Amino acid sequence: MPNPVLAADPGLPIAILNEIYDCLSLALDASERPTSYSQSEREARSYMRTALRRTERLLNQR
């Protein structure tokens, strides 16, 4: 069931932000390994960490 969003609230529904946060966390966990990463893998993980931090900030603003 979709979460209703008030017209006065321009942000994303909290459920969507939570889902994005969970997906990013799982992606980082799944890609964790003891060996070294290639340059493209390091960049991808950096983008995921940045997205995770930004999502966390949005969650804490609500």
Residues 55, 15, 31, CA angle at the centre, nearest 5°?
50
Under a CB-based contact definition with an 8 Å cutoff, are residues 23 and 31 in contact? no
Q: Is the pLDDT of residue 3 over 90?
A: no
Instruction: Tell me the per-residue pLDDT of 19-49, one tens digit each, with 9 for 90 and over.
Output: 999 999 999 999 999 899 999 999 999 999 9
pTM of the model: 0.72
